Amino acid sequence: MGKRVAAAAWGKPKLEKFGQMTPRQKWQTVKWTVIGLGIIIVLVTVGPVFLPPRIEVAFPGNNSVENPLDSQIEIIFDRGMNKAAVVKNFSISPKVAGAISWESNRKLVFVPEKPLVRGQSYV
């Protein structure tokens, strides 16, 4: 008979016990679930802020050939950018003198002072 009582009472005592707990005991029981859900909500809400920006479109494209030598370089980012930080970190190798302008807070345009060199690879 003792085994039968234990099996029948398997699911209920925890709920009944939770109802009899003090508020402090209830918090101790559920706090890690609540904290975990809070972390998930924060990451979903503000997580993208911590991800680095991506380049959505670049012209000329990667490994493109036969581009006009007087082409401007255009880069469109996936979000609005800190323009001063982008300009500070923008570089082309081998070094090319030119001017940077912005068509929007997502689109940078670089115009070389002189035409690019035929057959030269730029990074």
Task: Tell which residue, 46, 122, 111, 109, has the closest CA to residue 83.
Answer: 109
57 and 31 in a single domain? The answer is no
pLDDT of residue 13: 52
pLDDT of residue 94: 92
> Strands 98-102, 107-112: parallel, antiparallel or unpaired by DSSP?
antiparallel
Q: Can you tell me the distance from the alpha carbon of 36 to that of 44, in angstroms, rounded to the nearest whole number? A: 12
40 and 75 in a single domain? The answer is no
In a domain, 12, yes or no: yes
Give the largest Cα separation in the chain, rounded. 95
In a domain, 85, yes or no: yes
Q: Can you tell me the distance from the alpha carbon of 58 to that of 78, in angstroms, rounded to the nearest whole number? A: 11
Task: Tell which residue, 54, 68, 60, has the closest CA to residue 109.
Answer: 60
69 and 106 in a single domain? The answer is yes
In a domain, 119, yes or no: no
44 and 57 in a single domain? The answer is no
68 and 24 in a single domain? The answer is no
How high is the mean pLDDT in each 10-residue block of the chain (123 residues)?
A: 49 66 87 90 79 88 78 91 92 92 94 89 84
pLDDT of residue 8: 47
Give the domain range for residue 80: 52-112
In a domain, 42, yes or no: yes
Q: Determine contact, residues 116/96, Cβ cutoff 8 Å.
A: yes
58 and 81 in a single domain? The answer is yes
This prediction has a pTM of 0.60
Q: Can you tell me the distance from the alpha carbon of 90 to that of 77, in angstroms, rounded to the nearest whole number? A: 13
32 and 7 in a single domain? The answer is yes
Strands (E), the chain: 55-59, 73-77, 98-102, 107-112
**Which two tokens mark 9?**
């009472």
Overall domain count for the chain:
2
62 and 101 in a single domain? The answer is yes
In a domain, 37, yes or no: yes
pLDDT of residue 52: 86
63 and 89 in a single domain? The answer is yes
pLDDT of residue 7: 47
76 and 32 in a single domain? The answer is no
